Structure 1
């Protein structure tokens, strides 16, 4: 994970106020108590997967690294905090000089995870680590939820093309992050140009129903599009009558027409009819793209249909019903001073109910069976067993405050394909179930 990040980190503003007020008030109180510099270890993890999911997907690591790198308080922010009486003068002075100087380890982007997996480990002083809690969780919870939905859709698509097209269904900045996460999870292209610009994701797009309605006839609309974009374009054929539109499309573009898109109706039935009609007209190479509120279940139901690509919007950018991963960021170990030689002491929340955690600075490894298939997520706070030494999952991301692990987005995408293929086959089932492998603590 040492190659250069190929994305454009242009015009990235400070991320310091992407946080909750109590992060700053904790710093103020800790500074006054003399405990702010205590060496600490925080971990991000989830206690459970979203209901029915068999595995999670780590996404947002690259964006998180950008956020940590750009987490600093400028004069305008400090003035705001002063005028709003958020923190006192000594704390404002401390914040003015803030730059994260600790270490971060984490699961590489695209890797899969399970309940308890220490997806991220942040080490440094209490004050500098606790400030990062909200922005880290905001990024990881959103991006990992989208990537998990994308992965399920990718598995259901069975190698057919996937187009992310959800920009109009979510916040404009979330749309860019969603396209990035979807690409990691297995989508091939996006309709969002900002995502293409920032992250080098391939972009696609042709026309909407409005373009057809603009023209006096459907034939005029098709001719205008083909004249402008070429015969390889994709023509939208469900504005009026699908059969008539397909016939007109082939007459205008010829048998070399790139594709037709169907955006309504009984997609299974219509796709079969359109494929038969295209073949009869000699357009045997023309592809069929379907859209219309698809999710992983709809995609799976179209497995027997002659469909070449799926365009997915709303369900993808909302996590297909699971818009967050419920990750938390907890203090798991701390020393009694800032001295690096001072031993770390495990700490953990022990409240009643499900909101308990396991203390200690942890490692994680994935144990494989005799066939090389994952059989358990193993987590421990002591020595790593020799048989798991080469199966460890945490990678060094930040050392001494410096990001050392940027990588091209395609590396995360390829890693996810490999990680998913290493899970038991039941991981690909869309029926509700438990995590596909157990989490074991040592």
Structure 2
């Protein structure tokens, strides 16, 4: 039996064995364990869902609230290099010891109580039976246990998949944010934008503000807000932004925040994400007031690796976890906005259950050489599978295949000259492997983000 003194790696391996499916949406099991644990946070909670931009909104909220002096808990997923990235307290990753103690609490609550310690009248009671949890469900409960144990003053929770049936939705919250809606995870959420929006809107709560961070509002977003009785604030309606050459202005229900610095996170959609984050702060201004100084500092200091992350040096290296059509289109726009370069090398690897063709289609106009690699995971596409997708999309650029992402990156480093650029994208796995390869290659990938 594992306990709080066990290594974090042992716990993570153990969690992968506790449920027959990696993903099983539904709240019944996780709600029962939550009840056994008595996880009822007394601090404000913000839940962030959406197809793309969730991580950016969480990072901006965390940065601004931290700058305002609050002790902030932030739960995001997946991680790039270390599980500890998922649980941050005071802008620091939770330690192995804190995580292991929380995992033990969850394990004790979900497991069958020892018969010798059980009242005979209760034996056979379903309420005392063992409850199976997925890796993500276990981690979600443990994150909230950490936040309560560490006495945070506000928690930010990123939805893992969908919203309505995601484990994060077991917790009531004070404000919900849905960043954007596009086609992804269709095997779980539906095959149209409206169906997916319905699932995302499942995090809305009666009487609470629900922020939607895109001006193209699906009908089901409005319908669910009305059905639940949530206060829907949409970009372009209840809040908006105007962009200038050096600064930008946010306009919300509480007034205007003028002359704001551009977020440190790069990309064309970051003002959409920043505006959604500021709308959430507007919704919670009575509980969590945030000054203009804290907003400005938070925007300037926000960090989020792997989202159009430009690694310093020549040739330019760009890391982006873009793995669905909307994210790929955004990456393509961001690349088009950069100064022209001599040649662009793409280190490209994806999961085979993603829309590989649409991602390739979105980027093919920005790539001169495709360096295609496989991902060593059960869901990973092989280099041969990705190559067939590229040829089917009639890419005109050269396509080279490699066994691993590291091999592809090494080739790019050998071939690229100072005025070239290298982009690594397609999956969290892709970016994570590039980051792990830093010691062998000439890029310092843990440097300035």
TM range (shorter): under 0.3
Q: Return the TM-score normalized by structure 2.
A: 0.25
Higher relative contact order (CA 8 A, sep 6+): 1
